[in-house]
Each structure stands twice: as C-alpha cells, then as structure tokens.
Chains A and B, each alone.
Chain A
Amino acid sequence: MTKPENPRGVELSSKQMKEGDVIVNKWDPRVKYAWATGEAISRFLEEMKNGKLIARKCDSCDRILFPPRMFCEECFKPTTEWVYIKDTGKIETYSISYLDKDARRITDPIFVGVVSIDGASEKMGIMHYFDETTKEDIHIGMPVKAVWKPPEEREGAITDIKYFRPLKEGEE
C-alpha cells in the first residue's frame, strides 16, 4: 500500500489547449493603481532626482535605515533624522539573468543583485542592476558606484540610477 492511493486529476496538455479541445474562458483584467509613496519614499524619490541617496536614522538603536522609513521596525519608534548617504557600496549578492519578468528568454543577460550602500548601517541596501563589468569579474564584495541618468532625464524613480559599476581605483 502506497498512500496516496489512486490520486485523481485529469491532465490537459498544451496541445489540447491550443487546439481548443476543451472549453475555456479568458479574462484580461485591466486594473490600474496609484500607490501612495508615503512620507519616507516620497523624499527618497525626490532626492533621487537630485542624484542623492537619503536614509533615516533611528535614535534608539543608532541604525541608519535604508531604504528610509519613518519608523524603525525593530524599536517600533519613529525615526528621527534624515541622513544623506553615499552613492557607493558593495555587492552583497547578484545573479546573471537570462529571463525577463515574464520568464521569457533573453540572450543579453541582466546583471542584478543587492548593493549595500556606504553610510547606511551594515547590509542595508537596495536591489539594482550592475554593468561595466563581466561575468568573470563580478563578485560578492565588489565595491561599486551608482551611474546616474543625466539630471534632465530623472523622474524621481529607482531607475534614476541606471546601474552600479565597479568603483575605480582611488575613487570615492
């Protein structure tokens, strides 16, 4: 006796679906949203337009929180101060992706990962792209710097930074 015994279910192949062997209904919802960016992220996006990264300080645990938030989730108290941090940091982890957002294959891979930002507390960072590096050179721990869009093209978005590139010798 192996449980489950005689499991049920009628499998449909993609061929059956394509050839219309079964009755289906389709639906294409068109739902639009306007997400409030809130106090902290509104300011963060505004500063992105200026080519700057900004964080919030928690007086209670002394952490510099990034991305910024108006409350510290550990102390559960309001954060107290805006703090500009640098636009350099360190690759915490990364992937080389041959998939786009809908799982379609792409031939020119995307370098993406988490970058912790200098001036924020340890491990505090964002997800972003990396470029001007190669599959062979990119590594965890690599120092990197933001490459910004020209000021006139910035719109107050995470993509105002185009990507992070390796930090050059002697550069800050």
Chain B
Amino acid sequence: MTIFRRRLQETGKEMSYEASKMALEEAGLELKDVDSVVLGSAPDAFDGIHLKGENLLDGAGGAGKPYLRVFVGGGTAVFSPIAGWWHVASGLADVCLVVAEEKMSSCFPHPQSAFGHIWDPILDRPLKPNLVWIFAMEMNRYMTVHGIKKEDIARVAVKNKRNALDHPCAQLAADLTIEDVLNSEVLAWPVQMLDISPPSDGASAMILASEEVAKKLTDDLVYLSGAGWCIDSTMWTDRDLYFPEYVARAAKMAYKMAKIENPPKEIDVAEPYDPFDYKELHHMEGLLLCDKGEAPILTREGVTERDGDLPVCPSGGLLGVGNPIAATMGIKACEIYWQLAGKAGKRQVPNDPQVGICQAWGDLMQYGSVLIMRRG
C-alpha cells in the first residue's frame, strides 16, 4: 500500500501501480504471473473521472487481462478481495491481483460536495444534507438506546490513533487523551472533529492465489475461509439505526462458511470498519463479537487493545491511518493477512492469532462486507 495522505502528487493510475508493484514484490511474483485483476474504487465523483475502473486499469496491471471493477461504497474495501476470491475459488484464475484506489483530493475544495450526490435528490437533498449528519444521527441513536457515554466512544479514537503510530502509512497517528477528543470541535453533535477519519488519497493491493500456487510461494499460508455480504433497504429513514442488521447477516454468512460457531472465542484479531469511532463499536456488535451495547464496555476494559483478549483495529484503522475509501483494504484485509502471517512487525498482536476477521461498510448506512482468514 501507498502512504495515506490528504493529497498525493501521483495520479490514481500511478498510486495503483505503486501499490500493485509492492504486492507483487512481497509475493515474489511478476505481472505475467497474474491471471486476472480486480479493481475496487468508490464513486467516480471523488477522482473526478467517470469510468474510473477503465482509467486506472493500466496502473492496476489490468491491460490485456480479464479485469473487473467492483464498487459498493465504503464496503468496497473488503468486497474487492471477496471478488478476487471468486476468481480463484471458482478455478478461473490461479493468481488474482486485487487493487483498491481512491484519490479524494481531486474533488476540490472538499470531497463533501461529491458525498452530497449520494442522497436522494427529491426527499433528502433539498434539505442540504452533509454526510456527517447520517453518522451523527446513527451515533446519537446508538448512544441513546444503550445509554453509552461519549467518553467510552472517544476511547476508540484514542486507541486507533495510537495504534497508527506503528503504521508506516499513517496520516493521523497521534498520542491523544480522551479529553482531547471530547474537547475537539463539535461538527454535528454528537460527532466531533477527533471522532472522524480524514479524507485521503491512497492505494493498496493484495494477491490471492490458489492453494497449489500459494504453497510454492510461501510456507506461511493464510486461507480465506469465509466471506459474506449484505445490503439493507435504501429507505434508511424506515429502520432503527442502533444496530447494523445487514452487517450481522453478512457476518453470519461468513461464519457459516468458515465453520465458526462462537465468534468471540474463535476470532483472535478483528479489523472492523472505523470511519468514525462509534462505528468500530457498532460493527463489533454487528459482527457478533459481543452483545448489543457491550462493545464500549469491552473497550473500556482494554479487551480491544493490541495486547487485549480481542485486539480490534491493531492497524490504527481509518481513524489513525486514513480513509481513502476503497483503499482502506490495506488496513482491513491486508492487515489481517499481515497479522496472521506474522508480518505486522511493530503492530503484531501478541496472542499468536490463528483466525482473523475484517469488515467494511458503506452506502447510505446499509452495506456490510465481511472476510474471515485463517492461518494454514
């Protein structure tokens, strides 16, 4: 993966190239060894190039190959490797290169104006909505239903930004206190400045290979053992926002495939999607890693720290490393791979992880994608 920053000089193609090249080098492969390419990228409106998949393809190594762009909003970060897994699991490809890219800085002065286009033009947009509103409304509902204090949510921001100090790509790594978060600028109550991940430029890539090919490349195999995805109705004002039922359905699909019956006991490391601090908690509950309303308590007790019983977002997450939407694959799917392969270095969780889970989330509070990996 590239570094994540508010603005990179590289074009989207060049970022895609840099990330793809790094992945190929780490795997000991060349482009000619790649049978198919999956490119994940969120709305064209950020890069400001329609048919973005076609634009990026040569930098993603897709020229002259079976090539597919996938896009499910923020969920693209984990859906892209799922689409790559289809290629390999179906036997269509022995080696699939998965590339995820986002260049949000092209949308100027702020990508918020492009986020505005996701709202219903007739019912929502006349109210001049800001994307932060939906997070604020969901967070408020979540806090109110369970009686959660803001300081218990702020702990997530503190933890992830601190974890990010050990990530070489991090944009917003920092050693902060809960007070820093609670005293930061109120943007849309209850959301404050330090509750949010930043807009970023970045790209990431990973290689998926058949068992036969992978065994020739490494002794430290990591298997994709479960995948799930689910989307709820677009009518987001018609359902209770306190619990992401669609994430739970995606998780159950993945657990079934991975033959996991007791997620809190069997999952050793988790990378749920954390564009906002409360989202990590919301998604831990959606992933059935704890009971509804229990995630803030586990966080307060230190369970989700890197050296806790269930390390959550050891990468530093979107809050600390940055949020180039689809490219957060690098801190979700890639991070779980690096953790299970024992390659996470300073970020390595000490519990000798065997099974890890990552999840991404997107669209109008309605989409969840889940991937489970297991050490070979």
Contacts and interface: CB of A to CB of B under 8 A. Distances in A.
A157 B126 contact: yes
Interface of B: 1-10, 15, 18, 22, 26, 48, 108-110, 112-113, 116, 121-124, 126-130, 132-133, 136-138, 140-141, 144, 166, 168-169, 185-191, 201-202, 233, 235, 237-241, 330, 334, 338, 343-347
A1 B101 CA distance: 25
A1 B345 contact: yes
Contacts of A100: 128, 130
Contacts of B109: 102
Given A35-B122, A103-B130, A9 B137 contact: no
B15 A9 contact: yes
A93 B132 contact: no
Nearest to A22: B9
A65 B8 CA distance: 46
Nearest to B138: A93
Given A4-B330, A157-B126, A94 B140 contact: yes
B345 A7 contact: no
Contacts of A60: none
Nearest to B3: A9
Interface residues of A, number: 56
Contacts of B241: 92-93, 114
Contact of A102 (B110, B138, B190, B347): B110
Contacts of B166: 2
B122 A41 contact: yes
Contacts of A26: 108
A79 to B, nearest CB: 13
Contact of A127 (B112, B127, B141, B239): B127
Interface of A: 1-14, 17, 22, 26-27, 33, 35, 37, 41, 45, 65-67, 69, 73, 92-103, 109, 112-114, 123-129, 135, 140, 157-159
Contacts of B128: 100-101
Contacts of B48: 27
Contacts of B239: 123
Contacts of A125: 237-238
Contacts of B126: 157-159
A28 B7 CA distance: 19
B121 to A, nearest CB: 5
B136 A95 contact: yes
Contacts of B202: 9
Contacts of A67: 123, 235, 237
A95 B344 contact: no
Nearest to B22: A4
Nearest to B111: A103
